[in-house]
Chain A
Amino acid sequence: MKILIVDDDEIVVRSCRRILNAEEVQTQVAASVDIGLKLLLEHRDIDPFDLILTDIKMPGRDGFEMIRRAREIEPDIPILMMTGYLTPETMEKGHLDGVDYSIAKPFTPDELIEAVHKTIIRKKKEQTDE
């Protein structure tokens, strides 16, 4: 399993990598939306990611942009959004843009792992529904 992490805050990125690596999940990190999208494109045909974990509040292009573009490149990829300020409005906007699940920062390792699983389950359920 391979997850693309998009966040500008290095400490968050490191936390996520440690949690996911401990679960034997491969991770690739992008410090900005541009890099994230570039990586997504590069890997699409050879070695596609299984999930995108993206922050929302970032300088320049924000997480919502990342989600929208990602959906264009990989329509079926599960997307998990994380944010330090999770309001119903953010959630709704994220869902409209194509997010499958969301998690509020801060989180414990267990909470993140559970959220990843739920994201994948949601996506699968959604696909079977269709």
Chain B
Amino acid sequence: MFFAVDRLHSIRFKLIASLIIASLLVCVVSIFVGGNMLYRSVLDEARNRIRQDLNVARVLYDDRINTIRTALELTASMPEVFSGFCSPESPLPETAFMQLTTHQGLDFLGVTDAQGQVVYRQEGNRSGSPGSSKSYPLVEKVLKEKQTFAGTVVLSEDELLFVAPSLVDRVRVSHAVPKGGRLFTTQAAAMTIGVAVPIFLDGSFAGILYGGMLLNQETGLVDKIGETVFKNEIYKGQNVGTATIFLDNLRIATSVKDASGKRALGTRASPEVARRVLGEGGSWTGRARVLDNWYVTAYEPLLDISGKRVGMLYVGVLEAQYADVRARAIAKFASIILVGVLVAIILGWMITGRIMQPVTHLIRASAEISSGNLSPDIGPISKDDIGRLQRNFLTMTDALREKEERKRVEHETRLLQSEKQASIGKLAAGVAHEINNPLTAVLTFTHLILRRKDLPEEVREDLEMVADQTERVRNIVKSLLDFSRQSEIEVESIDINGLIRDCVELMKNQALIKDIELSFKGQEKLAPLRLDRNRIQSVMINLIINALDATAAGGSIKIVTARSVEGCKKGVSIAVEDTGHGISPEDMEHLFDPFFSTKEVGKGTGLGLAVTAGIVERHGGSIKVRSRKNEGTTFTLWIPYQDGPEDFQPRTGEYKL
């Protein structure tokens, strides 16, 4: 399990995720910003277009008026048509008027005499009875000025009744209020375009020919605008372009149709538009809602012949087509981004894989190290920063290996030593026990014989030799038994300086005899150590005896105690330094082996140092030797302070040479 790290927390995932999040963020922002910019520029484009369209619509509107004017002027200038004017008996040429009406699509047509009295009136195809026409504003103007007038005229219901009574129905508009759906009828004024032409007979003013059309619910003009400007383009079942004529702010003629195909009449323009266009006389472009759809729209005022703002001309294009442009663009953007993100993920995965490969290798290698393999494969060294990490890792594993090897050798040595000691101990115990019985007899009988007074002197001397040597054997066996005894030490709190002082006191005479200076310098205010008094005493005496044996007359032995820390344990070091003959390196190796002795045969048991090391070890301490041939030797004991009595267990710990 090299990757105990779950994938969501791996560096690789984090890198890729942050890259993707960053790019997604940029993409989303750019979609919105770009989409909106695109939309806005498209809208601007649409507004420009609609303004032009409005101009075209205006031209068409004016053109309609001019066409009627030209036709009426032409008719008025034909003398044969109005020759009958001179004698009331000769009738007016109704056929010619009928033709005019049909051709020009006029809703009404009439003729007055020079006083403005209607002599002929026609509505559509129907001829009506003559009457006064004073209320038709255009006629009044011609009577005054004796010249042609043409333009937009708003008629009240009375005026309309007079001009064309049959048209009154067309100004009543039913429509559904968007909310509630209730049908109601609006009674509006009539909006007309019309022309009045003076008739001159033989150079004198003889009458007026007038005609025009009602715009309320008129379809020809608005449809023509739609047709000319927008080419009857259809987008998703809707006319792209629409045109509407307003009387004041009321829709009276339009090309906008609702779902059932009915024209959307009778509703009013928004107050904002009305204020701008009707109130201020400006034009207005912008988004507007008509029925259920949004349009990009343009409005401008319609003026009547006296220059009063009486209505508005409107054109609009469906916004949906532009909105769809945006939607399409965003969809395209989104798909590009999706592909980009996919590519980024794949690329990121590959690149981070390459980057992470050495790291993955290192992670695996470190796992191997912790499971014991100190020479793990870490893969090729990379040239980047990770290369440094890898080199450091190699240095670390080298150091670890070296340390491990040292430890192994040390451990093996120690193991060997303790095994050796244990087996020797067992053997010694057995042998010593068996030797002691015969030795009892030897000692007993030599001593008993020595008690006799009648022994010849030379026999006594020989026998004493036997007694001495038996004593020696006894000592060897005793040491051997001490050595083999692995019993627990019995500790008590002891002032180590006092203990050493006692030993020095004991050995003083021997030193004096050998002419060796024996000195002791204790560290002041040492806290008491937990020690086995008898054993440490025998250790100290043993070390002093060894030093005395190694040192020639005139030499010196110094014993020094000091506070000392080993590892992280506080303790006391006891150094026994002599100026003796020193120990050779080859002897050094066997110094603590049982039965190893450099002393003359018969002088040492070869167990002293082995026993000493064992005792120090059982106190949790260590013993070290530093020696130079012919310069002297220093044995340094180190005994730690015990934290508590429960801590004080005999150990098979190491002792150092």
Contact = CB atoms under 8 A, between A and B. Distances in A.
A22 B437 contact: no
A109 B481 contact: no
A18 B448 contact: yes
Contact of B441 (A12, A22, A104): A12
**Most chain B beta-carbon contacts within 10 A, residue among A14, A22, A85, A106:** A106
Interface of B: 429, 432-445, 447-448, 451, 470, 474, 478, 481, 485, 487, 490
B28 to A, nearest CB: 87
Given A11-B440, A14-B441, A85-B436, 20 more contacts: A11-B438, A11-B441, A12-B437, A15-B441, A15-B444, A18-B444, A18-B445, A18-B448, A19-B448, A84-B434, A85-B429, A89-B487, A104-B478, A105-B437, A106-B443, A107-B440, A107-B443, A109-B444, A109-B451, A110-B447
A34 B443 CA distance: 29
B425 to A, nearest CB: 12
A74 interface: no
Contacts of B487: 87-89
A50 interface: no
B222 to A, nearest CB: 129
Contacts of B485: 87
Nearest to A85: B433
A106 B440 CA distance: 4
A126 interface: no
Interface in A76-101: 84-85, 87-89
26 contacts: A9-B437, A11-B437, A11-B440, A11-B441, A12-B437, A12-B440, A15-B445, A16-B444, A18-B444, A18-B448, A19-B448, A22-B448, A22-B451, A84-B434, A85-B432, A85-B436, A87-B481, A87-B485, A104-B478, A106-B436, A106-B437, A106-B440, A106-B443, A108-B444, A109-B444, A109-B448
A89 B444 CA distance: 27
A71 interface: no
B504 to A, nearest CB: 27
A53 to B, nearest CB: 12
A129 B478 CA distance: 35
A118 interface: no
A15 B429 contact: no
B385 to A, nearest CB: 66
Contacts of B443: 106-108
A107 B432 CA distance: 14
Contacts of B448: 18-19, 22, 109
Contacts of A14: 441
Identify the interface centre among A12, A15, A22, A87: most chain B CB within 10 Å of its CB: A15
Given A18-B448, A19-B448, A106 B433 contact: no
Interface residues of A, number: 23
Interface string A1-42: 000000001011011101100100000000000000000000
B444 A84 contact: no
B233 to A, nearest CB: 119
A41 B163 CA distance: 171
A76 B328 CA distance: 121
B433 A57 contact: yes
B479 to A, nearest CB: 13
Complex A-B, nearest 5 residue pairs according to Cβ-Cβ distance, in ascending order: A84-B436, A15-B444, A106-B439, A106-B440, A105-B436
Contacts of A11: 437-438, 440-441
B465 to A, nearest CB: 16
A57 to B, nearest CB: 7
Contacts of A107: 440, 443-444
Interface string A49-76: 0000000010000000000000000000
Nearest to A17: B444
B375 to A, nearest CB: 50
Contacts of A110: 447
Contacts of A16: 444
Contacts of A108: 443-444, 447
A105 B444 contact: no
A3 to B, nearest CB: 15
A15 B439 CA distance: 10
A11 B440 CA distance: 8
A35 B141 CA distance: 174
Contacts of A9: 437
B151 to A, nearest CB: 142
Contact of B440 (A22, A57, A88, A105): A105
B342 to A, nearest CB: 83
Contacts of A57: 433
A112 B447 CA distance: 12
Contacts of A12: 437, 440-441
A3 B444 CA distance: 18
Nearest to B442: A106
A79 B438 CA distance: 23
Contacts of A84: 432-437
Contacts of B433: 57, 84-85
B447 A109 contact: yes
Nearest to B484: A85
Of the candidates A19, A84, A107, the one having the most CB atoms from chain B within 10 angstroms of its own CB is A84
A87 B428 CA distance: 14
